[in-house]
Chains A and B, each alone.
Chain A
Amino acid sequence: MNISPVHFIAVPLLAAFLIPIIGRFSKEFVKVIPGIVLLYLSYVAISLFPVALKTPIVEVLAGWKPPFGISLVYGPLAAYLTALITLMGFVIWVYSYKFIIREPIEKYYMLFMLLITGSTGIILTGDIFNMFVFLEITAIAAYSLTAFLRDKDGAEAAFKYLLIGSFASSFFLLAVMLLYASTGTLNLAEITSKIDSVAMSTRILILILFLVGLGIEAELFPLNGWAPDAYSQAPSPIGAIFGGIVVKAAIYALMRLVFLLFNFSEVFHFLLIMGIITMIVAEMSAMKQQQIKRMLAFSSIGQMGLVIIAFSVGTSDSVQAALFQMFNHAVIKALLFFAAGYLVFHSGSKKISALDGLGRDKPLTSFFFALGALAIIGLPPFAGFWSKLYILISVADAGLITAVVLVLIASVIEAVYYLRVVSRLYFNKESAQETEVRRTPLTGLLAMGVLALVIIVVGIYPDYIWNLLKPAAEELVNKAEYIRIALLK
């Protein structure tokens, strides 16, 4: 079997179908399958990466040539994002292996696989309707996972997510319909080449619909009401998936469409302002949160605001910085969710105030949380530092000093609420009551350790990743190039 980008979608989809069936026979095997799948996909992603950098791969499904067939476009950007998603997916699986002990395990892994399918699909597809389909797959899997714990709060959160998510789907679908009506095609590259002939007002209407539809998934303020609840009620690895995978795919979709179809300065200005508002409101809201995972959720939203700011500066450098920030955020936020998951588990409470002195009882988990916190604030020598620096420099290059200042103010707020938690962890509680000693399982520590290592290595030597992102950024900025690739011209 030749490896090809199709596997990113096909293999996890197949696995998702097989898991419930196999689950009838062996629970243990079910737990291993996603690992094997993700390991394989990671292998595919890594081995295809250099190929994509040289000559982007375009896979045509169902035998029709683009623009008529359904196509997968595997350029540098898609290669980078799929690699990120599959690798993160693998780490999340390692972590879940011992963390998810509650039944129904096979459903968890099935939904997990569907989520991977949907997210990679969004990124790979060159067809706007397919994008909708994958978005729906992702969303439905996400709703179900939010309610996975089957408690009252989870159900409520899932309901809210579903409610808002359905808005997203309908607006997105509406936008797709309008696009089809005005251009007569669903192929993204084809649409791009024809979009200039569409009346401006229609175009803006489509844009608005996309903005609302994808803004919901990309956690744009004020459309992100669902996010804090969903993040905090879902199991911790799911929080990591939301922050590390789902949102990334949504941001990708939004930015891809904006860069291809709505490449006006007004749109970028609007997104810049929305990004700043999103970031600031989220960081401010995070400040007084009582629950650690809710705090992490708001922090995620804030980080997405930062990513949107960087994207909407619109230069190749800033896009590169944004992609770098996406990578760092995926890794760091996953680490934080992982660590928070076990901290909540050990302290027996979701409250931040229950974390006093855990640094002594759970040194490694606390250490990972502290490291993640320092990294996400953007302190060297951790990964977050470089991406923030690159973003700020590219923003300043565009002459937006006010935005730089606002980003840094948000960073100060971020530092406050993260370090509050860190200092609680390392607070020497005088009389720590003897709780039953529950150890963080090895797989959990392994997953966190790998992420921590990545954070430090990238923090000390960011060049490798940074250079990988250059072609990806250029692909996103340069729409003629995309059309050329996608239409196999």
Chain B
Amino acid sequence: MDINWIKILGLIVTVVMAFFTGALYGGLARVVTARIQNRFGPPALQNLFDIIKLYSKKTSINHGWMQHLGPVWAITASTTTLLFIPILRDSTFFTNLSFDGDLIFLMYIMVFGSLGMALGAGQTGNPNSAIGVSRGLSQLVGYKVPFILSLVALMIQFQTTNLNDLLAVQDSFIHWNIFQSPFAFLAGILAFLGMMGYKPFDIVFAPAEIASGPPSEFGSKYLGMMLTSRSIFTFAKLVLFVNIFFGGADNIFILLIKTFLLYMIPLLIGIVNPRFRTEQAVRFFWGFPTAFGIIAVILAAW
């Protein structure tokens, strides 16, 4: 088997870029939140500093192998997710592995990381972690329903399950799926709110209540790796949604603008909203978002 070094370079660049962008967005989010709350907030690169700091710290305890593997698992899943998403349209460099997997694969691999983290958190024996996981998984079942509905709507509309094909059909502004299939977009974006885990859907981590839930027993390198994973995963999700609904991006600059704007949606909604309880969140997702999804599927099938 001949190894395509360009491609491997592309993979590495993608991952590094995703990490920095994700971390930066996280920092910007804190700044934006602070400004809205009339504070100054930390510098935009604070998240990056945090991660570097965490990696430089020593760990003196562990709770066993599963806890050890949890962050590894999470970062594997988030990176794999990223690698199976084409970053730019029509780019040989950033196609990555997207032809070997498809949307269904992405849906599953996206859960893989949470599962690993949940298992790692489980071994620590902290009840808060378990409570967080219980909430997180319940919420997952909630938002997956509108999400899959919107994806199915698109799949049947364009007779493909591959992301590259979806990109190919969105060749001009008016052909963006947000316009071609608005109901699918509505369902998808509402599911996206849950996926991002900002308010009102942040009961999983709920810092004041269950001490940030699943990661509460993780520190130093473990937490560092989890945050790294989260940054990468955030970027992966953003790119995925940009690819699905906003016609992808022709170059990095456009990609950054689109992803940042998309990132602002859950953030801004979150800032002005209180937190849903788990059952409220689940019911919310099974209400309007699901209805939109069903309309989208009916329209697409028609």
A/B contact in complex, CB under 8 angstroms: no
Which B residues have a C-beta under 8 Å from some C-beta of A?
none
